[in-house]
Structure 1
Amino acid sequence: MHPLKLIETTPGKYSLLLNAGSTEVDDVIAELGHEPNGYFWEGIAQLIVQDEAPALAGRIEYDPEGGMFVAYGTDRAALEDLGERMSALASDEERMRELVTTAEEAGFEFDD
């Protein structure tokens, strides 16, 4: 799941973490006019849930910061699923370019 990490913060509560600026696609994100911060990655997570994994909707909450993406909740399986999907995207420049371009064409606004 690299570069994301899933940790148990307290018994039964989990956080999915990504240090912003630590992925292989940071240059592509900047090239597309965005800052690869935690808020941008929240938008990516929302798009993944909306378009690829609607069964995760309502099972994950977000609390990003400038330097870190954070998703959390009690559903470890949902966070693992999201983490695997985001991990694959964090190393695939072509897919990132396609996802951001398609989202913007559809009117999605990233909050970065």
Structure 2
Amino acid sequence: MDTDNFKKSIKPFFWVEHEKSVSVCLNVGEYKTEIFQTREEEGFEGNGYDWASLAKVFLEERKSELMEFIKFDSEADMFCAYSSNIDALKTFIVAFKEICENKVLIQDLFSRAELD
């Protein structure tokens, strides 16, 4: 997949290249907010930390072979995953975005996410 198609396929997540690593980020509050509303009474807000919790469950259960390569540096207003392994991060975000688009699967994974 060429770079332009890749970047389009992961929207609203966005890809950022650094000198020795890459990041994939999401400005929170603009995508899949309804997922987090299902557990609002437990304290989930849909912030960057909540997205990271969801992404960690996804990695553990669906892409555990990537866990050693993917790190998180989320903030309240932004989800951010990064890696020095470009291929690992690309594999992660393509698969994670696919899961995010499947309402049943994403709700199932989110049911096991823990507040950070």
Same fold (TM over 0.5): yes
Which fold has the larger relative contact order, with Cα–Cα distance below 8 Å and residues 6 or more apart in sequence? 1
How far apart, CA to CA, are the structure 1 residues paired with 2:84 and 2:93?
14
1:53 corresponds to which of 38, 48, 63: 63
Query: In the alignment, does 2:36 pair up with 1:29?
Result: yes
Residues in 2 aligned to 1:86 and 1:35: alpha-carbon distance in whole angstroms: 19
Partners in 1 of 2:69 and 2:46 — Cα distance? Answer: 24
Find the residue that maps to 2:109 and give its secondary structure: helix
CA contact (8 A) 2:47 2:77 kept: yes
2:90 aligned with 1:80, yes or no?
Answer: yes
Structure 2 counterpart of 1:13, from 21, 24, 30:
21
* In structure 2, C-alpha distance between the alignment counterparts of 1:54 and 1:31, rounded to whole Å: 26
Deviation at 1:15, TM superposition (A): 0.8
Q: Is the 8 A contact 2:47 2:79 kept in 1?
A: yes
Structure 1 segments unaligned to the other structure (5+ residues)? none
- Over the residues paired in the alignment, what is the CA RMSD in angstroms? 1.5
What TM-score does the superposition give when structure 2 sets the normalisation length? 0.80
SS in 2 for 1:16: strand
